[in-house]
Amino acid sequence: MTFLRSTLYNSIDASVRGYASTDAVSGLIDVEVEGGQVSFTPRDEDDVPPTPYFVAVYGPDGALEAVAGGSGGIEPDFPDTFTLQATAARGLSPFALPDVEGDERFLAAVDVFQPDGVGDLFTQMVVVSTASTNQVVATFLGIYAVISVVILGAGALGTRWLVTLTFRSLGQVEDTAMSIASGDFSQRMTDIEPRTEVGRLKIAINTMLGRIDAAISQREATVRQMRRFIGDASHELRTPLVTVRGYAELYRMGAIPPGDDTAQAMDRIEKEAIRMGVLVEDLLALARLDERRDVDITPVDLRPVARDAALDVRATSPKRTVTVIEAIDDVLPGGDTPAGESDTDAKKRTSPPTAVIARAGASLLRRRSKTPPSAPADPDADTLPIAVRRPQPVVSGDENRIRQVVANLLGNARRFTGDDSPIELRVGVDPVASTGWIEVVDHGEGVPDQLKEKIFQRFWRADTSRTRETGGTGLGLSIVASIVDALHGDVRVLDTPGGGATFRVSFPLAQQREPEEHLLIETQPLPRLERDDL
Q: CA–CA separation, 190 vs 249, rounded Å?
A: 70
> Which letter, b or e, does each residue of 404-440 get, where b requires 16 or more Cβ atoms within 10 Å of its Cβ?
bbbbbbbbbbbbbbbeebbbbbbbbbbeeeebbbbbb
Contact 455, 409 (CB under 8 A): no
Q: Domain check: are 238 and 171 in the same one?
A: yes
The number of residues making up the chain comes to 534
Q: Domain check: are 117 and 232 in the same one?
A: no
pLDDT at 291: 60
Q: Which residues pair with 33 in a beta bridge?
A: 38
Q: Domain check: are 195 and 327 in the same one?
A: no
Domain that holds residue 468: 298-533
Contact 236, 468 (CB under 8 A): yes
Of the residues 272, 293, 314, the one at which a domain ends: 293
Give pairs for 86-93: CB < 8 Å, separation 24+: 86/62, 86/110, 87/58, 87/111, 87/112, 87/123, 88/112, 92/17, 92/20, 92/21
Of the residues 264, 293, 322, the one at which a domain ends: 293
- Number of domains present in the structure of the chain: 4
Q: CA–CA separation, 41 vs 221, rounded Å?
A: 101
CATH number at residue 7: 3.30.450
Q: Domain check: are 436 and 497 in the same one?
A: yes
Mean pLDDT per 10-residue segment, the chain (534 residues): 79 84 82 80 80 88 86 82 87 84 81 82 88 83 91 93 75 81 80 78 85 85 72 67 79 76 77 75 70 76 92 85 78 40 38 33 34 45 49 89 91 85 92 92 86 74 51 71 89 90 93 50 42 36
Task: Count the Cβ atoms, other than its own, within 10 Å of residue 234.
Answer: 11
Of the residues 293, 322, 343, the one at which a domain ends: 293
pLDDT at 511: 75
Q: Is the peptide bond before 391 cis (omega within 30 degrees of 0)?
A: yes
Q: Which residue type is seen at 4?
A: L
H helix or E strand, kind and range, residue 318: none
DSSP H stretches of helix in 68-118:
84-90
Q: CA–CA separation, 427 vs 506, rounded Å?
A: 10
Contact 444, 363 (CB under 8 A): no
Q: Domain check: are 147 and 253 in the same one?
A: no
CATH number at residue 457: 3.30.565.10
Q: Domain check: are 97 and 190 in the same one?
A: no
Q: Domain check: are 266 and 324 in the same one?
A: no
Q: CA–CA separation, 320 vs 148, rounded Å?
A: 84
CATH number at residue 195: 1.10.287.130
Q: CA–CA separation, 98 vs 68, rounded Å?
A: 17
> CB neighbours of 17 closer than 8 A, spacing ≥ 6?
92, 94, 109
Q: Domain check: are 423 and 280 in the same one?
A: no
**Helices 260-290 and 197-252, axial angle in degrees (round to 10):** 170
Q: Domain check: are 68 and 108 in the same one?
A: yes
Q: Domain check: are 249 and 216 in the same one?
A: yes
- pTM for this predicted structure: 0.43
pLDDT at 520: 47
Q: Domain check: are 287 and 304 in the same one?
A: no
What single string gives the DSSP state of each residue in 112-179?
Answer: EE--TT--S-EEEEEEEE-HHHHHHHHHHHHHHHHHHHHHHHHHHHHHHHHHHHHTGGGHHHHHHHHH
Q: Which residues pair with 32 in a beta bridge?
A: 39
Q: Which residue type is seen at 127?
A: V
Q: Domain check: are 9 and 106 in the same one?
A: yes
Q: CA–CA separation, 13 vs 19, rounded Å?
A: 10
If you compute the radius of gyration of the chain from its CA atoms, what whole number of angstroms results? 45
